[in-house]
């Protein structure tokens, strides 16, 4: 009986570990020392004597962002890069603002599940599973929607007013891979013959897409 219980306990612990996104912390705080240049699945810890309240504070999500791009949305992060005190804590936030018709293009977060809470406006949202099934819903102010870790998802403001959400992640740095930019604007570039074959389009069409997604020169 004891052996069976021990085996069950080991399995539960193993499954719990797999379900977590970031590793557990081994101390009360480990404020990120980003300038140290040392990363071991996270950032090195700042000396405790140099830690202040400012390492745990960020006011950048208080107001809507200025949107001046072709997709009509802006993502403002509140992760370990903006709040060093989040290092090893396994959580972060973003604010996403959308113009009427604005889109947060299809993308993934390889290291985290995302939960959004609608502050203002209405959105059409969805994610696609590995079985190629789309789960989508229209959501409004006060609603919550979840995008499972690693799955392609999007948000679109099909309303006539601006919209905003707060997104929560179970990672200090969830990472983002925008599908279009990843494939058509990587460095070095994905070979044209890969893209033409995958999307069944011509080299000219590949070049047109790349020109639209290329970073704007300052």
Residues that constitute the known binding site for Mn(2+)? 107, 109, 114, 153
Annotated binding site: 104, 107, 109, 114, 153
Determine contact, residues 102/71, Cβ cutoff 8 Å. Answer: yes
Annotated binding site for oxalate: 104, 109, 114
**Could you write out the three-class secondary structure of the chain?**
CHHHHHHHHHHHHHHHHHHCCCCCCCCCCCCECHHHCCCCCCCCECCHHHCCHHHHCCCCCCCCCCCCCCCCEEEEEECCCCCHHHCCCCCEEEEEEECCCCEEEEEECCCCCEEEEEEECEEEEEEECCCCCEEEEEEECCCEEEECCCCEEEEECCCCCCEEEEEEECCCCCCCEEHHHHHHCCCCCCCHHHHHHHHCCCHHHHHHHHHHHCCCCC
């Amino acid at each position: 009986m004891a052996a069976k219980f021990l085996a069950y306990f080991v399995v539960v612990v193993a499954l719990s570990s797999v379900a977590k996104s970031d590793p557990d912390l081994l101390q009360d705080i480990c404020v990120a020392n980003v300038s140290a240049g040392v990363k071991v699945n996270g950032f090195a810890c700042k000396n405790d004597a140099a830690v202040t309240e400012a390492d745990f504070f960020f006011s950048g999500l208080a107001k809507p962002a200025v949107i001046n791009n072709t997709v009509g949305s802006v993502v403002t992060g509140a992760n370990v890069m903006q709040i060093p005190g989040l290092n090893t804590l396994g959580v972060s936030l973003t604010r996403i603002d959308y113009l009427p018709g604005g889109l947060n293009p299809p993308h993934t977060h390889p290291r985290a599940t995302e939960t959004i809470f609608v502050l203002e406006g209405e959105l059409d949202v969805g994610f696609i599973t590995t079985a190629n099934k789309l789960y989508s819903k229209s959501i409004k102010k006060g609603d919550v929607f979840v995008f499972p870790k690693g799955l392609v998802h999007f948000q679109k403001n099909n309303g006539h007013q601006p919209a905003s959400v707060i997104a929560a992640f179970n990672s200090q740095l969830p990472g983002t891979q925008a599908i279009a930019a990843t494939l058509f604007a990587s460095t070095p570039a994905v070979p044209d013959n890969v893209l033409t074959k995958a999307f069944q389009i011509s080299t000219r069409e590949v070049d047109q897409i790349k020109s639209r997604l290329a970073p704007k020169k300052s």
